[in-house]
Amino acid sequence: MAETTLPSVRGRSRLSVGVILLIGASVSGALIGFLVGLILAPAPTPGVETVVGIMGLAITADLTSLVFGRPKPLTYGQQVPQQWRDLFDARVVALLYGLRLGIGPATILSTWMWWAVSVSAGLLGVWTSVLAGGTFGITRVVSIGLASFRADQVGHQQFFGRLGRARRPSWGTLNLVAGFAGIILLLGACTSNDPLTLPSPDTVTLPSPDTGRVEAESRVTQLPEETPSVTAVPNPDTPSSAIEAIPIPDSSVNDPAPLTAEDLAGSLLSEVAQFGPVDHPLADRYLDLEAAIQIQPDATEEGPLLETRGFNGGWTRAFRNDTQDVIVATVYDFANASEAAFYREDGLITLGGYGAEFFDVPALGDARGFRTTSSDEVGPIVTWGLTFTNKNQWYLFYLVGDPQTATIEVLAEAVAAQYQLLGLPTE
């Protein structure tokens, strides 16, 4: 294995050398991924188009390099010193060699794919970058091991001669497959990094700002003259603070009949002060089980969860103001009050795992609040959310927009109007 660096080893020595190579490459690859992630952390999180563009450039550059010999990947372009095997024990050499293998351009790098994956993963987040770097190191050592094993069987000269003759077509095909596989994996990371596991604003296709502005003044809801004062009180224990208070249904009492689509639609605000309804079919619609599953980032987890909680149906409705801030209101009907309350806690616990900040709004009773931040090509984005239950219905209101205009006061005013519609008390 790695005959340019290590002496020929067999038996247990060969196994130990392979394990050390694997450890060294995976550790250095993960470390480089961590550093790249830290360096690129201030950059905006890329969208699908950016990731596909970066990977597409790498595929094009690799294929061009195979055909025309240019452009060559940025790399040191030299193997590790052969003198190492004369100076150190085989296991020490394996560790040093493995550490260099995990760093793509530290030895001989024949593809631009390492650069594309490293940059894309780094833009997606530190831990995504760590995973990409570690995976690269492991894959590289495994490939070397398989090649070495086969060469020992058929003869090194014969094996590598065949490999050289098949280099262009085989490497071109492998590069395309690896490139498209990388695109799929990184696009999966794009969606999994979304901090919200509750209905996402990305599931509503909104008109463009130039053609979709609404005359909010003509659709303003008249709120009570005394709007509840809004105070966001930090509450880091919110994800679990209400579990003990969740009502347990009496087994002798039958679950209430499911609400009809008309009842669900009627239980949500149809107007929001200073916001107008979004004129799009997806922005005001009934949600059956399949639709409720599909608007979640992780449909594989959401389906069983909704079925377990006795999901009966839901409704979602979106509003937007002149500054393009969006409020999405959603209601789900569950089998009973406890299942609705448990579903709310499930969502808050998941949000806590993604680092959401929690708070209470005393004026809105048991409403639970959360806040997340992100960014796009334009600038920073804030998401404020308020969720509560009423009998066996679960409600979620969230506001997405510019931190300067999308504030908790704006969202709390809309939720106060929802409380009034449902006849719930406010302070």
Residues 194-235 have pLDDT tens digits of 433 344 444 443 333 333 333 333 333 343 444 445 666 766
* Mean pLDDT to the nearest integer, 393-402: 94
pLDDT band at residue 116 using 50, 70 and 90 as cut-offs: confident
Give the architecture (CATH level 2) of 201-422: 3-Layer(aba) Sandwich (3.40)
- Position with higher pLDDT, 54 vs 2: 54
Higher pLDDT, 254 or 230: 254
Domain ranges of the chain: 11-192, 201-422
Cα atoms found within 13 Å of the Cα of residue 115, Cβ hemisphere only: 17
Q: Report the 10 Å Cβ neighbour count for 47.
A: 13
pLDDT in tens, 19-49: 887 787 788 888 888 888 888 877 776 666 7
Task: Provide DSSP, 323-339.
Answer: T--EEEEEEEE-SSHHH
Given this model, what pLDDT does residue 76 score? Answer: 73
Name the packing angle between helices 113-124 and 167-192 (round to 10°): 0
- Which range of 87-96, 215-224, 385-394 scores highest in mean pLDDT? It is 385-394
pLDDT category, 380, cuts 50, 70, 90?
A: confident
The pLDDT value recorded for residue 65 is: 75
Question: Helix (H) and strand (E) counts for the chain?
Answer: 14, 9
Element (H, E) at 388: strand 380-390
Single pTM value for the model: 0.49
**H or E element that contains 375:** strand 368-375
| Sequential DSSP letters for 101-132 | HTSGGGS----THHHHHHHHHHHH-HHHHHHH
Closest residue by Cα to residue 105 from 119, 87, 93, 91: 119
Dist. CA 232–CA 126, nearest whole Å = 30
Distance, CA of 408 to CA of 39 (rounded, Å): 32
Cα–Cα distance between 59 and 177 in angstroms, integer?
10
Total Cβ atoms within 10 A of residue 231: 13
Q: Which of 314, 383, 304, 306 is nearest to 351 (CA)?
A: 383
